[in-house]
Structure 1
Amino acid sequence: MASARKSQWKTFQRFAENLVFNEGPKLVRQIQNTQNTLRTIQQAVKVTANIMVSAVPSPPAEITAGRPVTSTSFPTAQRARKLVYAPDLDGRADPGEIVWTWVVYEDDPTRGKDRPVLVVGRDRSVLLGLMLSSREHHANDRDWVGIGSGDWDYEGKQSWVRLDRVLDVPEESIRREGAILARETFELVAARLRAEYSWR
C-alpha cells in the first residue's frame, strides 16, 4: 500500500514539474487562447482527483446478513470449566480443534474478520473459543501463548492464542474446520488456563 502511494505521488510530482517548467511558459504565451488554458486546467484537476481517489484505502469488510457471527466475549475466568481434549473431525467442533468464524472487532461491532479460533469447550450449541492471531507482536504479550504453525494457516505462519478473553461462537457461524491442534500444544494452552484463569 505504501509503495502504491509513493508511486502515485511520484506520478503527481512528475506531472506538477512538467506543468510548472514546460507548460507554465506556454501557458503564459497562450493566455489569450482560453480554450487551451481551460483544457490544461481541466486536465490538471482530473489527474489530481484521480490520484486522490486511488490513494484512499478501502474500508474493512462489513458484516453482512446471513450466518450468525461471533460477537460476544467474556473474561476467561468467568467461563472457567473443565478442559477436555477431544478433537474429532466429525462435522461438530470439539475441544482441541481450530475452526474459522467471523469475529466482530471489539472497537467496532459493525465490522469484523474471518479468523481461526481454538475450541476449548462447549455450552450446548455455543462453542467456547480462544482467538488466534499470526501477528508477531503477541510473542511478548503475557495474555497470549505461542502455538507454532499448523494447517489452520495456509501460509504456515506462527500463531498465538489469546488467553484473557473467551469467545462465544455460535456453532452455525463456523465457516470451515481448520485443523486439530496437537495434544501437547493444547496442553500448553490448558496449563495456562488452569494456572491463571481457574479452569480445571
Structure 2
Amino acid sequence: MANDFTRFAAVAAKLAREHGPRLAAQVVNSPPVRAGREAITQAVTQTVNQALGLESPAEPKEFTPGRPVTRTSTPTELMARGVFYAPQLDGQADPGEVVWTWVEFEETTGPNAGQGKDRPVLVVGRSVTSLLGLMLSSQERHQGDPAWIGIGSGPWDAEHRPSWVRLDRVLDVPEDGIRREGAVLDRRRFESVAQRLREDYGWT
C-alpha cells in the first residue's frame, strides 16, 4: 500500500511539474477570469472615486458660456508620438483618464455648423498648450469600423453602455475646458488602444 501511494505521489508531482504552468496560464487567461478582473477593476475605480468625492458622470451637460471649446482635430498619424499609461488624479489630466469636453461638430456648413456636444474623451498625451484626446462614442454603428476600437463599458457613461474610441483623429483639447469626473480606463484596455495607435498610426 505504501509503495502504491509513493508511486501515485511521484506521478502526481511529475504531472504538476510538466503541465501545471500551462494549466495555470490557461485559467488566468480564460474569459471568465478576465471578465472577473475587469469587474473588480471597475468596482475599485468606483470605490476610489466615491472616497475622493468624485461624482459619477451625469448625462452630458449643456454648453457653458465662456468655457473653452474643443474645435480642432488632426489626423492621428500627423500627431505620432510616444503613448504611455499614467493616470494620476492630481492637478492635471493624464493619459488613461477619461474627461469631458464640449466638442464642436465637424460640419462647417448646414444646420449643425458651429454646434457641438459635451463628449467623453480619452486622454492619450499632451502638447505644450493642450491635451491630446480621442473621442468616445456609444453608437453601435462604430462596431467593426477600423477607425474605431471597442473598449466596453465604464463609469464615463451614465447608462453603462459599451463604448468605442475613435482612432483616426486626435482632438486638441483645451485643459481649461475639461470636466473631470474621476473616470479612468484600466491599463489593459488603454494598452489595446495604444497598440492600435502604434500599429496603424506610427505612434511609439
- Give the shorter-chain TM-score range: 0.5 to 0.7
Q: Which position in structure 1 is the counterpart of 2:24?
A: none
Report if the CA contact (8 A) 1:147-1:159 is conserved: yes
- Superposed displacement of residue 144, structure 1: 0.2
Report if the CA contact (8 A) 1:63-1:111 is conserved: no
Q: Which position in structure 2 is the counterpart of 1:130?
A: 134
Say which of 169, 176, 192 aligns to 1:188: 192
Q: Which position in structure 2 is the counterpart of 1:41?
A: none
Which aligned pairs between 1:35-74 and structure 2 lie closer than 5 A?
Answer: 65-74=65-74
- Please give the TM-score of this superposition, normalised by the length of structure 1: 0.67
What's the C-alpha RMSD, in Å, of the aligned pairs?
Answer: 1.6
Q: Which position in structure 2 is the counterpart of 1:77?
A: 77
Change (3 A) 1:149 1:194: same
Change (3 A) 1:163 1:143: same
Identical-residue share of aligned pairs (%) = 65
Report 1 or 2 for greater relative contact order, CA contacts < 8 Å, sequence distance ≥ 6: 2
What CA distance in whole angstroms lies between the structure 2 residues aligned with 1:183 and 1:63?
31
> Is 2:99 the partner of 1:99?
yes
- Structure whose CA Rg is larger: 1
Q: Which position in structure 2 is the counterpart of 1:38?
A: none
Amino acid at match of 1:181: L
Q: Which position in structure 2 is the counterpart of 1:14?
A: none
What CA distance in whole angstroms lies between the structure 2 residues aligned with 1:77 and 1:163?
10
- Please give the TM-score of this superposition, normalised by the length of structure 2: 0.66
SS in 2 for 1:73: strand
What CA distance in whole angstroms lies between the structure 2 residues aligned with 1:122 and 1:62?
26
Unaligned runs of 5+ in 1: 1-60
Unaligned runs of 5+ in 2: 1-60
What CA distance in whole angstroms lies between the structure 1 residues aligned with 2:89 and 2:158?
18
Report if the CA contact (8 A) 1:62-1:111 is conserved: no
What CA distance in whole angstroms lies between the structure 2 residues aligned with 1:76 and 1:187?
17
Say which of 103, 111, 114 aligns to 2:118: 114
SS in 2 for 1:93: coil
SS in 2 for 1:156: coil
> Is 2:150 the partner of 1:160?
no
Report if the CA contact (8 A) 1:132-1:159 is conserved: yes
SS in 1 for 2:179: strand
> Structure 1, residues 140-171: CA drift from partner, whole Å, max 9, x if none?
21100000000111110000000000000000
Q: Which position in structure 1 is the counterpart of 2:149?
A: 145
Stretches of 4+ aligned residues off by more than 6 angstroms:
none
- Superposed displacement of residue 91, structure 1: 3.1
Aligned residues: 140
What CA distance in whole angstroms lies between the structure 2 residues aligned with 1:89 and 1:109?
35
